[in-house]
Amino acid sequence: MNELWSRSLAKIVEAIADALQFAFGMTWEVLWALILGFALSGAVQAVVSKKQMRRLLPDDSPRTLTVAAGLGAASSSCSYAAVALARSLFRKGADFTAAMAFQFASTNLVVELGIILAVLIGWQFTAGEFVGGPIMIALMALLFRRFLKSRMVEEAREQADRGVLGRMEGHVEMDMSVTGEGTLWQRIRSPRGFTAISNYFVMDWAAVWMDIFGGLLIAGALAAWVPNSFWQGLFLQGHGALATVWGPLIGPLVAMLSFVCSIGNVPLAAVLWNGGISFGGVLAFIFADLIILPVLNIYRKYYGRRMAAFLLVTFYATMAAAGLIVDLFFNVVGLEPTGARHANVTNAGVSWNYTTVLNIVFLVLAAVLVARYFRKGGGLAMLRMMNEPMGAHHGHAQPAAVATRH
């Protein structure tokens, strides 16, 4: 009996060690790309004022939706922050459809997502993401025009104005951008710009680190414990056209149940790709970070049950359709990845190569930005305010003032 228990315990320990090894390998593989992506995102956010966003989203015209997509691409990739900022924009006069378009772009058209996809799975997925994002926004706008009633929008606005808390309300209300005279490059290079970049870099990491490393741990566990034969059966690999259609339909459902959002779902996407899901299924899975169960609960708090249900149905439809459309298009033009599936999941690890060199370089950059944040930026006080509305603090304007100090 003791021998049997010892063997079982040894197998459990070995399985956990394998999962952690895979998770660490993937973390090492994408670390430099994460730092680069968040640094670039911080630079963009440092010169884009959130006050400007609210003024630029008055309706659901194609021009406004294009602006919303551009503003979303320039903002934080954190799904919770995107959802909170979309509600803030809506409460302050932005069109509801435009606010949702901003939300889609904020989690699907950001630079850090594209970099991680290219490193972990392949450049075709980055291209598919940036082609599929606008398609998804266009499909959403069409569905909203056809099915979204003005009464539903008014009910959603009444619920939004109650100010029920979700996550990251304080983070999205902190406008740390550098405005004023000078070109964008001059503002970015200024001492104030450097401080603003460091603020956004640290704050964005604080917003998404749990999702990123949670996704890496879950991906490691799935890679270590779930055989590819299970995924191949679930995704109908080898069934031709049926698998092509099934992938974008099942992808969002898997995403919903994973509880992982933001760019933290990319390692999971890599596991699914190795397991046999279609190209469009991977894209639909990544798109679906805005309908995971915790986010759906936030929609209920922000806009009410009726609107939350409407968003679930329409978002699911647009995500699945966009994934399928991109899959078919890439297949026709010859861009869809073919051949063996070798996403950097099980073969990722530490060795002296270009990845290690890049990690060292960008870890130095991260250390510089973090040091600037604590020396000249917001520090621990700002981190404590991320999940609380700014109005809950007496000095609610302080973060913006601190971020521009030099």
3-state secondary structure 63-83: HHHHHHHHHHHCCCCCHHHHH
CB 319 within 8 Å of CB 252: yes
What pLDDT, on the 0 to 100 scale, is given for residue 227?
Answer: 85
What pLDDT, on the 0 to 100 scale, is given for residue 364?
Answer: 96
Tens-place pLDDT, residues 330-341:
999 999 987 777
Judge residue 165's burial from the number of C-beta atoms within 10 Å of its C-beta, 0-12 exposed, 13-18 middle, 19 or more buried: middle
C-beta neighbour count of 91 within 10 angstroms: 15
Which among 243, 236, 235 has a CA at the least distance from the CA of 324? 243
Which among 257, 272, 374 has a CA at the least distance from the CA of 323? 272
Which among 227, 220, 194 has a CA at the least distance from the CA of 368? 194
What pLDDT, on the 0 to 100 scale, is given for residue 128?
Answer: 96
Q: Which pTM was predicted? A: 0.81
What pLDDT, on the 0 to 100 scale, is given for residue 53?
Answer: 67
**Tokens linked to 154:** 């008014």
Low-confidence ranges of the chain (pLDDT < 70): 1, 50-54, 77, 168-173, 181, 343-349, 387-406
Q: What share of the chain is helix, strand, coil (3-state, %, to 5)?
A: 75, 0, 25
CB 182 within 8 Å of CB 396: no
Residues 144, 227: Cα–Cα separation, whole Å:
41
Q: How far apart are the first and last CA of the chain?
A: 68
What pLDDT, on the 0 to 100 scale, is given for residue 213?
Answer: 83
Residues 78, 86: Cα–Cα separation, whole Å:
12
